[in-house]
Amino acid sequence: GGSETFVLGSEFASLGYNQSKSYGFTIAQYSEYDNARLGRSAPHAWLIESTFRDIYYGFYCYEAEDVAIVNNVYRDNIVYGIDPHDYSSNLLIAGNTVFDTIEKHGIIISREVNDSWIIDNHSYNNGLSGIVLDRQSRNNVVANNLVHDNQGDGIGLYESPDNLLWGNRLINNLRNGIRVRNSTNVGVYHNTAALN
């Protein structure tokens, strides 16, 4: 809580394990109880032109704001490549290459991750889907991404209304190019979905 993290041109490898907020490279607020006492602002971060490999979650955040994840490589990570989570907002996830995630999705935002941009990323050959918006994540723009050869969907929206999918290319994913489940007011414009 209250932290500012700036990463440029660095490499991170073989970090993290399956314990809350110990997933590898994590930007997180204190617990609700601790933050009520300490009163710290949300954490912020810029991760730019760096490589994250063989990490339990390549990136994870909790109640973070104004995080920029730009022009990085996420490869061979265990559960997720990029996983902003729980009430985070105003994120920029742009220009990243995310591939060979072993268990699940290349890029996922989940549990009220709002008002964010997922643009110009290349997500491929991941264990499940290329890009996922999940659990009431709203007011996000997913645009101009290249998503192919994933073992799940190209892009999946699950219980996440009020989002825009624009100009994405979704090719040769094992399931659907675009899947929208229980999500209203979703704009889907100028996307190309082929061979899914």
Q: Supply the DSSP symbol for 41.
A: P
* Backbone region of residue 102 per phi and psi (left: phi > 0; alpha: psi in -120 to 50; beta: other values): alpha
Structure tokens at 40: 């710290």
Which of the residues are catalytic? 85
Please give the Cα distance from 144 to 94 (Å, whole number).
10
Give the up-direction half-sphere exposure of residue 19: CA atoms within 13 A in the CB hemisphere: 4
For 145-185, the DSSP string reads -EEES-SS-SEEEES--SEEEES-EEES-SS-SEEEES--S
Residue 191, C-beta contacts closer than 8 angstroms, at least 6 positions apart: 165, 166, 167, 168, 169, 170, 177, 178
Q: Which two tokens stand for residue 126?
A: 């991941």
